[in-house]
Structure formats: structure tokens, C-alpha cells
Amino acid sequence: MKNRSEITRRQAVGGGIAAAAGIVLAKADLVRAATPQAREVPRPKNSDFYDADGNFLPEKAREAYYAMFKRFRYPNPKPQQELMWVQDFGMGDFVHAGMAGVFWVNDKPNNYFGHEIYLLPGQQIPEHKHVKTPDAVAKMEAWHVRHGLIYCFGEGPQTKPCPVKLPESQEKHRTVGNAKRVLPGEVNSLNRPEAFHFMIAGPEGAIVTEYATYHDGAGLVFANPNAKLS
């Protein structure tokens, strides 16, 4: 017959192992919860954002971005709402070629720029570059993903297979094919001034902070001649 002290020791050891196992499992659950998991969300249709005559409906677009903010639990204070703009780049294909954003600061004398970029699921900013102008150097940029994920496309060897489905509406005017996936907390940068580039959101959409030099709109050049700022 086992003495009481031996039973107590075994119970203590067993309890300690169980407690340790519980801690490990709890930590594993936390790691899984913190790991970004891209999930498909319902994608809007172009018909949601245009009237019967084909006119773009900015307020409908805003509603879609606000719904995305809510899904990401991203704050949407009044100053942000007041500064936020939306674009379909005049191409009538908002769900594939569009964006929203906020210019927080665009300081020409000190040459810096702060921008928030909002993209719906699968939405692409049309391919473009920033060239030197009489008033500004060619803009350089870096993109910091806050929520969702993006694929940055730029110069370099073409990525095969392409990791994301690209909009057919932009295919004829696509000149770059080197892709890099950028997850929340990661930063990617433009490889050189005046390089063509674009980004496209993953299946949940994306919220991205851009750090850059001064933005002169006159230096913005689209690869697609039909793209324009409205």
C-alpha cells in the first residue's frame, strides 16, 4: 500500500503536468488567434455602385468601405469620414479598379506625405508611376499593411504562377508582373523612383498606411490611358 506522502507527490506532479499542458494549449490558441487568416467575404457587384445611366455613386462606395472598417474593427471617426475620398478612375469598373483614401498630410516644403489606402476585396489600384515635375522629385513610397493583405506588383522577374487573380479590365495595360504578398504589420517599398507599380487587395480587402515623399498630382502617370482621377 502506497503511503500518503507518495500519493500526494504523484498528485502534485500530475497536476503540475496538467497545468503546464493547459498553459501550452492556451498559448497555442493565442498564437492561432493572432495569425492572420485570409477569409473570403462576399464581393460586391459593379451594379451596386452605378446608377441606370452608368454614373458612379460615391456614397454607395463609402458604405462598402465603412462595412469593411466594421468587419476589421477599424475606427472610423468623423475627421476621417470628412477627408475620405473614393475613386473609380473613370473606368466604370469600381469593384476591380478603384480605391478610397485619406490624405492626412501632404507637405511640399518639407517633402513628406501620409496617406491611408482602402481597398475592397480583390480591388486594384490601376498600374501607375510617379514622375518628376517642376515642383517635386519623383515620389517614393512604402506601404504598411494594417488589416487584410495586399499583393504589390512592380518591376522584376514575372512571378509564376500569379498568386492572385488580376482584373481582366486592366490586362491590356499591365506592364509589371513581379508580385509580393504583404501581410498585416509588414512593409513593402517601391524599388526605384518612376517605376510602374500597383497593388491589389486580398479576399478580405485591405487597409494600408502609405509613407512617402510629397505627392504632386501632376506627376501621376497611369499605364492605362483611360484611367483618370474624377
Do you know the residue count of the chain?
230
Res 18: pLDDT: 43
Q: Can you name the residues that pair with 210 across neighbouring β-strands?
A: 115, 143
pLDDT at residue 21, as a whole number: 43
From the DSSP assignment, how many helices (H) and strands (E) are in the chain?
3, 9
The mean pLDDT value of the chain amounts to: 88
Q: Which residues pair with 220 in a beta bridge?
A: 130
Q: Which tens digits make up the pLDDT trace of 149-183?
A: 999 999 999 999 999 999 999 999 999 999 999 99
Residue 101 CA neighbour count, 13 Å, CB half: 17
Could you give the CA distance from residue 76 to residue 35 in angstroms, rounded to a whole number? 24
Buried b / exposed e across 103-112, counting CB within 10 Å, b at 16+? eeeeeeeeee
Q: Which residues does the chain have with pLDDT short of 70?
A: 1-39
> In the chain, where are the structural domains located?
1-35, 46-222
**Confidence at residue 39, expressed as pLDDT on a 0 to 100 scale:** 66
Half-sphere exposure of 71 toward its Cβ, with a 13 Å CA cutoff?
20
The Cα 148–Cα 208 span in angstroms is 9
Tell me which architecture the domain covering 46-222 has in CATH.
Answer: Sandwich (2.60)
- Give the separation between CA 28 and CA 33, rounded to whole angstroms: 9
* Cα–Cα distance measured from residue 14 to residue 36, given in angstroms and rounded to the nearest whole number: 35
pLDDT at 17 (0 to 100): 44
